[in-house]
Structure 1
Amino acid sequence: MRTKLILGVILSICYCITIDAAEEDLPLYNSSEKEWNEIDNRSLSIVLRATYDENTICVYSDIATSNATIVIKDKANNIVYSNTNAAFSRCHTFYISDLLQGDYLLVIKIEDNSFYGNFSKEGR
């Protein structure tokens, strides 16, 4: 009986530690916004949404994309992550477990569109 109680307490502690890692929205901005008279109404516009937690970034898209470039830069503008041939239909997930504590810039380029967003990696 005592073993079951200790095992239950250990599992509860582990559960409480992992419950803290929640996805946060990573606002993305389109740096290649065109003027209203330059927009081609025949093409689909790309809208991206990104979330991150401590070690994972997820990029969501409404349309399938290919040949996307995903780059993460640190404050000194050094590239700390790069994927030049990313293709995703609904969600692209990548892991960033080796990032140090600090502020970073996520840049995603798809065709003529360029999206960017800032996030911080918090230390524990």
Structure 2
Amino acid sequence: MATTNLIDKLVENSQFAYVPYSHFPVSALLVTKSGEIYTGVNIENASFGLTNCAERTAIFKAVSEGVLDFTEILIYGETEQPISPCGACRQVMAEFFNPDLKVTLVAKDKSTVETTVGELLPYSFTDLK
């Protein structure tokens, strides 16, 4: 189970979401094997196809700094039930994470659901490397 400190940081980070259109902040927190933390928020754009999700923001920040070894990702949305990543984020997660990497989904009341990347995207499109 994710620690309370990680969940508190995840929720606090959601204030940085840029959501002038949906007003729906999402936050992601990615933990590396060395204990570093990379955060991300959703960043919207008037051209909706150019919007970037919180999960991909955190992943791309880490990868752009050469970090490729992760232990877990936590995802928060201001929802009644824990939020789940979209299909695009699931595919990016499958590209950069092991299928057994822990994914913790967090609701606004801080309730959680734990799953894995493999459970979120079975039969992923990853065997082309």
Question: Normalised by the size of structure 1, how large is the TM-score?
Answer: 0.27
Query: Which structure would you say has the larger Rg?
Result: 1
Q: Relative contact order, CA 8 A, sep 6+: which one is greater? A: 1
Question: Normalised by the size of structure 2, how large is the TM-score?
Answer: 0.27
Higher share of residues assigned strand: 1
Higher share of residues assigned helix: 2
